[in-house]
Amino acid sequence: MKINVRNYTKYLFYLVLVVCIIFIFLFNFYFYPLKYKNEIIQYSSKYSVDSALVASIICSESSFNANSQSEKGAIGLMQLMPSTAQWLCETLDEQFEPKKLFEPDFNIMLGTYYVSYLANKFNDLDLAIVAYNAGEGNVLKWLSVKEYSNDGKKLNYIPYAESENYLSKVKRAYNIYKDRI
């Protein structure tokens, strides 16, 4: 039996191409899940925040695990600190109960409002994302240091490696979610 090398190579190419496409598809859905889409869209719309950004923050914070709790005490999908959540509840005239931070709807509502608040405060999404991770007080402090900011409005350097990595992680996730939500 004679094998046609040209046909074999062509079929092999198509097989590898299909496997790569399947791998990319499965990779995106495994490492970048998308749950609670309706809640994300609802609160993103309500608080004028890009829904892909909210999904990116949730993915980066908790990988969409509503029961997630950090060593530092951050809770739920958007990893809110109870003290921040309490302040957000007071601002929104909501009843604060720490256990409600494990409820996806409540957590997404508060977290999305907080992203909106930070985006409006800093008028810059990168700063808002860094402030979500490092705290707005730290970002305000860094903006006042010439070593970190030339103009007091943008950061040239993020002194916390964790926050710099967090910003990159959220942006990477955003590039996936912007086409999915």
Sequential pLDDT tens for the chain (181 residues)? 566 666 667 777 776 766 656 555 655 666 788 999 999 999 999 999 999 999 999 999 999 999 999 999 999 999 999 999 999 999 999 999 999 999 999 999 999 999 999 999 999 999 999 999 999 999 999 999 999 999 999 999 999 999 999 999 999 999 999 998 8
Exposure letters 75-101 (e unless 16+ CB within 10 A, then b):
bbbbbbeeebbbebbeeeebebeeebb
The reply to whether 20 and 79 lie within a common domain is no
The reply to whether 24 and 99 lie within a common domain is no
pTM (2 decimals)?
A: 0.86
Most distant CA pair in the chain: distance in Å?
A: 79
Exposure letters 36-61 (e unless 16+ CB within 10 A, then b):
beebbebbbeebebbbbbbbbbbbbb
Q: Which domain holds residue 99?
A: 35-177
Catalytic pick among 39, 61, 94, 97: 61
The reply to whether 59 and 123 lie within a common domain is yes
The reply to whether 50 and 118 lie within a common domain is yes
CATH of the domain at 167: 1.10.530.10
Whether residue 40 contacts residue 107, with contact meaning beta carbons closer than 8 Å, is answered with no
The reply to whether 5 and 48 lie within a common domain is no
Q: Is 94 a catalytic residue?
A: no
Q: How many domains does the chain have?
A: 2
75 strand-pairing partners: 69, 80
CA 150 to CA 134: how far, in whole Å? 20
Whether residue 103 contacts residue 66, with contact meaning beta carbons closer than 8 Å, is answered with yes
The reply to whether 8 and 58 lie within a common domain is no
The reply to whether 83 and 102 lie within a common domain is yes
